[in-house]
Amino acid sequence: MRTLLAFIALTCAAHAESILIRNATLLTVTKGTIQNGSVLIQDGKIAAVGTNLSAPAGATIIDASGKFLSPGLIDCHSHTAVEGSVNEGSLSDSSMVNIADVLDPSDINIYRALAGGLTVSNVLHGSANAIGGQTIVIKLRWGKPAKGLIFEGAKPGIKFALGENPKRQGYPSELFSSPAAQQRRYPGTRLGVEDEIREDFTQAKIYQTRWKLYNEDRAKGVHPIPPRRDLRLEPLVEVLEGKRYVHAHSYRADEILALIRTADDMGFKIRTFQHVLEGYKVAKEIAAHGAGASTFSDWYGYKYEVIDATPYNAAIMTRKGVVVSLNSDSDELQRHLNWDAAKMVRYGGLTPDQALAMVTINPAKQLGIEDKVGSIEIGKSADLVLYDKHPLSNYSKVLKVWIDGHPYFDLDQDLKDRITLADRKKDLIAKEKAEEDTAKKKADTERRAVDKKEGKLPQEGAL
């Protein structure tokens, strides 16, 4: 309890504290690069950005000469911190399940991602179903309980999936299905996936209307029997009402276009297409719908539906007016999204600022949190990353990471902790061994006592 209180006190102190990071190359993302720039952090927010800031009394001053400061990186597609499996694969529409219910704040990959400069993740359900589970945006506040991870004010989402993954449940193969999932399930084709989503939204609209009528009656003073609550359809009604974002796993141009048309017909929006490796073929249609594209930098060749993958996807989509981000979908890749962004300079000749935007402000826009994070601007959360070199260099390394002005990763501290933890581990192993030895001795003594009582004397050397 005392530790907990101390922890809270420390956290509060950190929030109230002012930090001035001085003499860094500031990669603001939205306002260009500032040489020898300073950032003042107050109450967890960016209070000032400039070249000649002076520290208020009592502020912690960090000299960042020769170093680079970027906004915290944002991953629009993650499965980190999900306890157990990410798929509720039983139904084609499992919209009633919620990732927020299974957040595991002790997942070590949160810390590992922090050490790579990641501060925000869109944590998604898997792609086994045409309509998967509800999703949640988190901040990587390592050490906080599950509730403390949730990004306050970020709109929740729902995962959709098109193509091979949801189809696969229709024709289980030895490669991808567990023995438990060896039962066929509709849909097993892209035609069926399109229909499934249409059917679900048809139901959702009827459900929405029933409640509307019911509420209207109630307003008139009539008291009809309320419609039966449907936890599966409720999130879809939220989608129809713009209260929940759709993040749609997709690869091929045909399925992307089909979903856009379904959404148009049903009157909802796709917030982001995820992976969207053929997005470049329908970039115009994606832009016109107003959807974002959250793609892989250079993945290809791993399955048939990515046959037309090209690392130039992001560049084409960007030029055709789509807001593009690079996602990880991986506990490893999320640790160096900056290096994935660097590839965009090579593939399609985007500028370093455009590249960096793909892992900062663009995913923030896609998640509707661009007023809070994603760039170094006054008033935004102090989610910042300090690097020894330019983050688009493959030789760069993360030194410090702040979330809401609180230091969540510090390389020097990490190196110190390693020694402490190694010692502690050694002590624990020694202690465990000592306890085992004591227990064994005790058991031996007891056995001897019993043997003696029963007259069985052990022979010398028999043990």
Partner 1 sequence: MRSQALLLLVAVSAIAADHESLLIQNVTIHPVTSAEIKGGSVLIVDGKIAAIGTKLSARGAKVFDGKGLDLYPGLINAGSNVGLSEISSIRDTVDIDEIGVFNPQLKAEVAFNPSSEHVQIVRAAGITTVLSLPSSRGEEFSPASAVDAPILPGQGALMHLNGWTWEEMALKRGAALDMLFPIIPSVPRREQTIGGPPQRTYSELEREYKVKLEQIANFFEDARRYAHAKAAGEPDFQPDPKLEAMIPVIEGRRPILVRAGKERAIRDAIEFAEKEKVRIIIADPHDIGSTAELLAKHGIPVVLGETLTLPLKEDDAYDSQYALPGQLFKAGVKFCFGTFDVEFARNLPFQAAAASAFGLPPQDALKAVTINAAEIFGVADQIGSIEKGKLADLILTDGDPLEATTSIKAEFIVGKPVNLESRHTRLYEKWNARP
Query: Given the rule CB under 8 A, which residues bind partner 1?
Result: 108-109, 111-112, 115, 175, 178-180, 280-281, 284, 298-304, 307-312, 315-316, 319, 331-333, 335-336, 339, 342-343, 345-348, 352, 392-397, 414, 418, 421, 425
Task: For the CB of residue 309, give the shortest distance to partner 1 in the complex, in Å.
Answer: 8
Q: 266 or 345: whose CB is closer to partner 1?
A: 345
Q: Which of 379, 369, 199 is nearest to 272 (CA)?
A: 369
Shortest Cβ 423–partner 1 spacing (Å): 13
Whole-number minimum distance, CB 318 to partner 1, in Å? 11
Based on CB atoms, which residue is closest to partner 1, 29 or 49?
29
Q: Least distance from C-beta 209 to partner 1, angstroms?
A: 40
Q: Which two tokens stand for residue 113?
A: 């991602």
User: How many whole angstroms separate alpha carbon 422 and alpha carbon 211?
Assistant: 59
Q: Tokens 């990490």 identify what position? A: 414
C-beta of 47 vs 342, nearer to partner 1: 342
Residue 157 or 163 having the CB closest to partner 1: 163
Smallest distance, Å, CB 287 to partner 1?
12
> What's the closest the beta carbon of residue 141 comes to partner 1, in angstroms?
17
3-class DSSP assignment, residue 127: coil
CA gap 180, 90 in Å, rounded: 10
- Tell me how far the alpha carbon of residue 319 is from its chain's centroid: 26
Cis before residue 105, ω within 30 degrees of 0?
Answer: no
- Residue 56 Cβ vs partner 1, minimum distance, rounded to whole Å: 34
User: How far, in Å, are 91, 96, 108, 115, 422 from residue 118 at the CA level?
Assistant: 33, 29, 14, 7, 26
Nearest distance, CB of residue 405 and partner 1, angstroms: 22
CB atoms within 10 A of CB 110: 28
Residues 342-372: b if buried by 16+ CB within 10 A, e if exposed: bbbbebbebebbbbbbbbbbbbbbbbebbeb
Nearest approach, Cβ of residue 365 and partner 1 (Å): 23
Cβ-based nearer residue to partner 1, 150 or 337: 337
Q: How far is the CB of 150 from partner 1 (least distance, A)?
A: 24
Q: Which two tokens stand for residue 53?
A: 């800031």
Could you give the C-alpha distances from 396 to 30, 104, 385, in angstroms and in order?
21, 30, 12
Distance of CA 325 to the CA centre of its chain: 13
Place of tokens 């050694």: 426
Residue (53 or 316) nearer to partner 1, CB? 316
Closer to partner 1 by Cβ: residue 41 or 356 = 356
Beta bridge partner(s), residue 246: 158
Closest to partner 1 by CB, 60 or 178: 178
Neighbouring-strand partners of residue 402: 384, 407
Q: What are the residues whose beta carbons fall under 8 Å from the beta carbon of 206, sequence distance 6 or more?
A: none
Of the candidates 333, 335, 329, 394, the one whose C-alpha atom is nearest the C-alpha of residue 116 is: 335
Nearer to partner 1, 415 or 462 (CB): 415
Nearer to partner 1, 208 or 396 (CB): 396
Q: How far apart are CA 8 and CA 12, in angstroms?
A: 6
**Chain Cα centroid distance, residue 207:** 31
Report the amino acid identity of residue 327: N
